[in-house]
Structure formats: C-alpha cells, structure tokens
Structure 1
Amino acid sequence: MMEFKVTGEYIPMIQLLKALNLVQTGGEAQIVVEDGEVKYNGIIDYRKRLKVKKGDVVEFRGEKIIVI
C-alpha cells in the first residue's frame, strides 16, 4: 500500500499515476485509464481527468494508493 499526500483540493488521475512513477508518461497513463486498468474507490473508472481527492483509494496493477 502506498500513500500520496495531495497538495491542494485534488490531483487529476493521470498526474497521480505519473507522480508515483507507476507509468512513465502521460500518454501511458491515459492509455491504462482508457483500458480500464485503474480502480477508483473500488470501481473501474475510465475518466482520465478524474479529480482524485483526500480519502480516495486508487488501485493499479496490484498497488493500492491511499490519498491523504
């Protein structure tokens, strides 16, 4: 399990994946989201610009990320 501290109100999903080095590029982040590889609070979510906020849980390729 990983924790990510968001500064401000939210972070877009694709930026979160890049910030945690789970993908190498923004383009790769968009593809994995579009392909349904990312779960947001337990549900597969296809929105690239999804606003991830404190208290949310993101799951990707076996990693669970808690946003604090």
Structure 2
Amino acid sequence: WSFVDSKGNQQWVWLALDAQTREIVGVHIGERSAVSDQALWNSMPPVYRQCAVIYTDRWSAYDSVLPNSPT
C-alpha cells in the first residue's frame, strides 16, 4: 500500500500474476475492501478466473471471491 496526497488517503495496489510467466493478468488500485477484491477479480481474463488460486494473509474479503482457496 501507499499514500496518495496525504496519509489519510491510503491506496493498495492489487496484482494478479501468472505463476509461470510472472505476467500481470489483473490489476486494481483502491482501498482494501471486498469491493476492491471483486474489482481485481473482474479485471482478470475469464481463462485465469477458471483456475485461479489465491495465496493471502487470510484477510476476510478474499473469501467473497474464492471461499475455498488455500491461504
């Protein structure tokens, strides 16, 4: 995350990477919320959504997209 303009405006950079090629296949910049989680998911091409696996810090918003994903 980073600050934009002031410390009161925190922004997270959300990235989805292809594990083999390291290509960025999805991106979203915004707050750390379920809305941003969904925006990242929607930014990914459907072919990547079919086999996506998320490794996270177990933050609850990720459950809204892939509830059975390993963490």
- TM, length-normalised to structure 1: 0.29
Higher-Rg structure is 2
